[in-house]
Structure 1
C-alpha cells in the first residue's frame, strides 16, 4: 500500500503534534503530499447571522485568526521534519464531517489524527473526533496517541 496523499487534522494539542510526527515519517517514506486541516465550527444560529451580516463577526474572526496560527505552527513543525505541506481552514458545523469531506476532496489515502484517548464518562460527554471519523468515513485512519 502506498500513501500518496495524507490528510492531517490538527487542533494545536500535544496529540496533534504526535500525529504530525507520524505523518511526517509516512510522508518521507512514501514521498507523499500532505494536507493539514483544522475546522472552524460554526453554530448554525451564529453562522446565519455571520453570513447575512454586513459586518464581520469579531468572535468568528478572532477564532479564525487563532486557527490560522495553529495551522502555521503545524506547517512549521512539518518543516522541522523536512516535509512541505499545504494547509486548509475548513468551516462547518460538525468537525468530523468536514474532515471526512476534506479527505474525500483531497483523495487522501489515509488520515493521520491524534487522539486524547478518553474513555468512560469523558468519552461519552466529550465524544471522539477520531472515533467519529472512523465511523463516518471511507478513508483509512491512523490514530496516534501521545
Structure 2
C-alpha cells in the first residue's frame, strides 16, 4: 500500500508534532504529498456577527495568527527533512468535521494525527478529535501517540 496524499491535522501541541515527525517518515518512504491543516473553531454567534459585519474581531485575528505560526512551524519541520508541504488554515465549528471534509476535498488517502494516549475520563475530553476522525473518515487513519 502506498500513500500519495497525506493529511496531517495539528493543534500546536507536542503531540501533534509527533504526528508531523511520523508523517515526515511516511512522506519520504512513499514520496507523498503532505498537507498540514489546523482548524480555527468559530462560535456560530461570533462568526455570524464577524462575517456579516465584515469587521475584524481582535480575538479571531489573534487566533488566526497563532494557528498560522503553528502551521509555519510544522512546515519548517517538513522542509528541513526535504519534504514538500502545503498548509491550510480551516475554519468551522466542529474540528473533526472540518478535518474529514478537508481529507475528501484534498483527495487524501491517509490521515496522520496525534493523540494524547490518555484513557478513561481524560480520554473523553482529550482524545475526542482523533476518536471522532477514526469514526468519520473513509480513509485510513494513523494515530500517533504523543509524549506529553
Displacement, 1:109?
0.7
Could you list the structure 1 runs, at least 4 aligned residues long, displaced by more than 3 angstroms after superposition. none
Q: Which runs of 5+ in 1 are unaligned?
A: none
Aligned ranges for residues 126-137 of structure 1 at < 5 Å?
Answer: 126-137=126-137
**Cα distance in 2, alignment partners of residues 4 and 125 from structure 1:** 32
Note if 1:110 corresponds to 2:110.
Answer: yes
**Cα distance in 2, alignment partners of residues 41 and 118 from structure 1:** 23
Q: How many residues align?
A: 146
SS in 2 for 1:7: strand
Note if 1:51 corresponds to 2:54.
Answer: no
Could you list the per-position Cα deviations for residues 19-46 of structure 1 after superposition, in whole angstroms to 9, with x for gaps in the alignment? 1111011101111100000000001111
Could you list the per-position Cα deviations for residues 35-92 of structure 1 after superposition, in whole angstroms to 9, with x for gaps in the alignment? 0000000011111111111421110011001100100000001112221200000000
Q: Which moved more, 1:114-123 or 1:24-33?
A: 114-123
**Cα distance in 2, alignment partners of residues 60 and 108 from structure 1:** 28
The corresponding residue for 1:79 is: 79
Q: TM-score, normalised by structure 2?
A: 0.95
Aligned ranges for residues 12-23 of structure 1 at < 5 Å?
Answer: 12-23=12-23
Aligned ranges for residues 61-100 of structure 1 at < 5 Å?
Answer: 61-100=61-100
SS in 2 for 1:21: helix
**Cα distance in 2, alignment partners of residues 77 and 20 from structure 1:** 8
RMSD: 1.0
The corresponding residue for 1:138 is: 138
